[in-house]
Amino acid sequence: GMARGKYIKPNFGDSKEKVAKIIVKAVEEGKNVAFVLNAKKETSYLFADILNCDFSKLFGDEINSNKDIENLHFIANLDENIGLPRIRQHATNIAKELNETGIDIECITGGLDEYPITPRKAEEYLKEIKPDLVIVAGVPHALYVEELDCETIAVTDGPRLVQPLNELGYSHVIAELDAHSKTLGVDEIVDSDFGMMIRSVIEWELEEN
């Protein structure tokens, strides 16, 4: 991503609070929202945290789990049968942890090593479900965002990728810093700044209501 003709200034992306509010509002209003995890190896432990939010809290007693929110979709490159044993183990660990938060991955796009090609399957599935809002975390530039007719959010680990992602057509871009250092040697999901912000916005909504 760095080998470009002109110098790209580091850019820290859009306000995490502003973009988190867009997501929470869309889920609350019943808009069709799809999270796409398209992550690379260990960094998936950080990017999976962005999916790891309990939106059911927004609906009081009538909904107990993310699984019961019909307009909420989760797509991920967490195939537990593809890649070296270590890579497969990462996928197993993450899928298990997400499942405990009531997150059902309804479309598995491939393995954690296949992030350059897994978006093809994600794109097919997105065309079927016709989302109003798509959040792509990990390696968002591998997805053909220009083919999506909706609001889009990219979550990347590179400040120098923010501008190119905007140019590709993403409506909003979030930069997660230090993804590699935060995920070195871990075997469970780690807190991401954006994931924590989404969870905070959910809590603020509850306090207001």
- Residuewise pLDDT in 10s, the chain (209 residues): 455 567 778 888 999 999 999 999 999 999 999 999 999 999 999 999 999 999 999 998 889 999 999 999 999 999 999 999 999 999 999 999 999 989 999 999 999 999 999 999 999 999 999 999 999 999 999 999 999 999 999 999 988 999 999 999 999 999 998 888 999 999 999 999 999 999 999 999 999 87
| DSSP 8-state assignment for residue 13 | B
Cα 152 → chain centroid: 11
Cα 113 → chain centroid: 17
**Per-domain residue ranges for the chain?**
31-208
pLDDT, position 1: 45
**Overall fold of domain 31-208:** Rossmann fold (3.40.50)
Longest dimension (CA), the chain: 55
Retrieve residue 167's tokens. 């140019």
Residue 113 · residue 14 · CB < 8 Å: no
pLDDT, position 3: 55
Q: Where are the alpha helices (DSSP H) in the chain?
A: 16-28, 44-47, 85-100, 119-129, 162-168, 179-182, 193-208
Residue 152 · residue 169 · CB < 8 Å: yes
User: In the sheet that 151-156 helps form, which strands lie side by side, from edge to edge?
Assistant: 107-108, 72-76, 33-38, 133-138, 151-156, 172-175
The reported pTM is 0.95
Q: How buried is 33 (Cβ within 10 angstroms: 0-12 exposed, 13-18 middle, 19+ buried)? A: buried
Distance in angstroms (rounded) separating the CA atoms of residues 118 and 123: 9
- Helix axis angle, 193-208 relative to 16-28, nearest 10°? 50
